[in-house]
Amino acid sequence: MPQGVSFQCRRCGACCRVPGDVALAPDEAQAIADFLGLDVYVFTARYTALAQNRRDLTLVEQSDGRCVFLQPDGSCRVQPVKPVQCKGFPTVWRSPRLTSVCAALRAGGGG
């Protein structure tokens, strides 16, 4: 992101509706499990899959491709402990597909 440009997320959830892997960094499965009040093994069985690299975990998606933690109002069920990959969009990383659905970026709020 260019220096001096700020990004103000509108919390619309559009980026969470785009299919794709949400990789979990070390300790994120435990943090999310704790937040949800679940044993980490129950959490991983219910909400994760093995990533394509066959060594990391990724969050599962709903049948339409949206994130398993996206709530009907567009908010994130695990917002306080959401994965670092989610926290990094769009200031740390971007993809054309996600940028195209982000209303804040399309409106000039950080593009």
pLDDT single digits (tens) 10-52: 888 888 898 889 999 999 999 999 999 999 999 999 999 998 8
Answer whether residue 83 is part of any domain: yes
Alpha helix stretches (DSSP H) within the chain? 28-36, 40-47, 84-88, 96-101, 103-106
Instruction: Name the token pair of 50.
Output: 């093995």
> What is the DSSP code (8-state) at residue 85?
H
Residue 2: inside a domain:
no
Q: Give 63-78 pLDDT, tens digit per residue.
A: 999 999 999 998 999 9
pTM of the full structure: 0.83
59 in a structural domain = yes
Shortest CA distance to 29 belongs to which of 16, 55, 47? 47
- In which domain, by residue range, is 101 found? 14-106
Total number of domains in the chain: 1
For residues 62 and 17, what is the distance between their CA atoms, to the nearest angstrom? 9
In a domain, 28, yes or no: yes
In a domain, 40, yes or no: yes
> Does a structural domain hold residue 5?
no
| 43-54 burial code (b ≥16 CB/10 A, e <16) | bbeebbeeeeee
Classify the C-alpha dihedral 18-101-56-28 as positive or negative.
negative
Domain contains 9: no
- Residue 101, domain member (yes or no): yes
Positions of E strands within the chain: 48-50, 57-59
Question: Is the pLDDT reported for residue 110 higher than 60?
Answer: no
Q: Which residues pair with 67 in a beta bridge?
A: 61
